Structure 1
């Protein structure tokens, strides 16, 4: 018998998250577990031992951590680290590479620097844990939860209470589409939306992070077709999937003065 997992997916920007959860930081955790999929914006050490240039094992990375570099591509905490704290967890969610035993009960971070929605994105950087492999790692986590909790039903019931987060998409542009290296330019935005669609039943969570780039100043304009498709997809998923709740928050729309930007300055449930 198959057990459906209901996922409440909060797609939030940090500034909004702080205002929503500011009263929760010192309370008991608001959810029992937090599972994270993504790229360098969320990776906290999964790439440390991979053969890749996409790793943060040298200074100035980690200069704000007492023990130095941690694998995070930042000087200190990542967005998901801050979310951990605001949700009330007393420790950072561990990376899949080092999560052991009952650690997985509080959640797992599967994110990998250079990963994208598409399998080939970021491969010029070397090894990385692509989205499909992150999903496989979560399946392995689910099997370990079954062992810890006794049955599939118990493991599925436990995951029903958890928060899922994903930040992916940037590398499909800056380390694929704009690199002109692996995917032909025609209809790339449609390919990305299609890839999200075929993975919706596996991942059930979506997060788009349009990002300004010093190398590609027009990246925000380039992702508008993808965001429009994602906006429609989230609306359709909420109608079709009764056991999930998706929230769309358009970051690029909030910073745009163009009234035609889909979902501008709004959240769509």
Structure 2
């Protein structure tokens, strides 16, 4: 019994050391693709003519690289998810991702973006969900070229994780702003929700490879 206690003790010590020292194996998935708004934007709006930008202090004050375009003082939720999945680096924004880097995933999120095309337009340029889907389709074409054929690419992408979170701006920067948008006069709250769900569903179907 004492022998096994020693074995378990060593195993526990190694586990603690691996966690403390950040020892990680290969990522649990080959790639991670992210769609969304300011909650997960990590720099796609930096070069856009928009009020919805965060590439300046105090944003990023607790982030190793300082301000990057993240709308937070440090990591975003998808940064933490990427770490937990075992990625060595954070998923790059579409605006800077290139070459074989895209095989690890791409972040398409854009602050002020919504399901509806006009959402957030009072803040300036942004990449709507439809625009993010179009960028993803361009990435797919690049993945096919990198991996050689569509079958290999489809098999590879089927193992990836996708994070999609939009819709709040369609209310905050659209429906609840009658001075800028007519949606609250066109639809009841229930009707508007149905319209968003229908459009969201159609956009999600387009992302399927």
| Fold in common (TM above 0.5) | yes
Q: Which residue of 1 aligns with 2:48?
A: 50
Rounded Cα–Cα distance in structure 1 between residues aligned with 2:26 and 2:148: 25
Residue 195 (structure 1) aligned with residue 199 (structure 2): yes
Q: Secondary structure at the match of 2:34?
A: strand
Q: Which residue of 2 aligns with 1:260?
A: none
Rounded Cα–Cα distance in structure 2 between residues aligned with 1:42 and 1:189: 23
The TM-score with structure 1 as length reference comes to: 0.65
Q: How far has the Cα of 1:86 moved from its partner?
A: 0.4
Larger radius of gyration: 2
Q: How far has the Cα of 1:160 moved from its partner?
A: 0.7
Rounded Cα–Cα distance in structure 2 between residues aligned with 1:93 and 1:183: 37
Residue 92 (structure 1) aligned with residue 90 (structure 2): yes
Residue 165 (structure 1) aligned with residue 163 (structure 2): yes
Q: Secondary structure at the match of 1:137?
A: helix
Runs of at least 4 residues off by over 3 Å? none
Q: Which residue of 2 aligns with 1:105?
A: 103
Structure 1: gaps of 5 or more residues: 1-21, 205-242, 244-269
Counterpart contact for 2:133–2:203, Cα < 8 Å: no
Counterpart contact for 2:43–2:93, Cα < 8 Å: yes
Rounded Cα–Cα distance in structure 2 between residues aligned with 1:82 and 1:75: 14
Q: Secondary structure at the match of 1:109?
A: coil
Q: Which residue of 1 aligns with 2:9?
A: none
Q: Secondary structure at the match of 2:92?
A: coil
Rounded Cα–Cα distance in structure 2 between residues aligned with 1:57 and 1:148: 31
Rounded Cα–Cα distance in structure 2 between residues aligned with 1:140 and 1:60: 34
The TM-score with structure 2 as length reference comes to: 0.83
Q: How far has the Cα of 1:203 moved from its partner?
A: 3.0
Q: Secondary structure at the match of 1:199?
A: helix
Range with greater deviation from structure 2 (86-95 or 179-188) = 179-188
Counterpart contact for 2:28–2:86, Cα < 8 Å: yes
User: Which one of the candidate residues 152, 161, 179 is aligned to 2:150?
Assistant: 152
Q: How far has the Cα of 1:194 moved from its partner?
A: 1.7
Q: How far has the Cα of 1:152 moved from its partner?
A: 1.1
- Correspondences of 1:5-84 after superposition (within 5 Å): 26-84=24-82
Q: Secondary structure at the match of 2:183?
A: coil
Q: Which residue of 2 aligns with 1:183?
A: 182
Taking only aligned residues, the RMSD between alpha carbons, in angstroms, comes to: 1.9
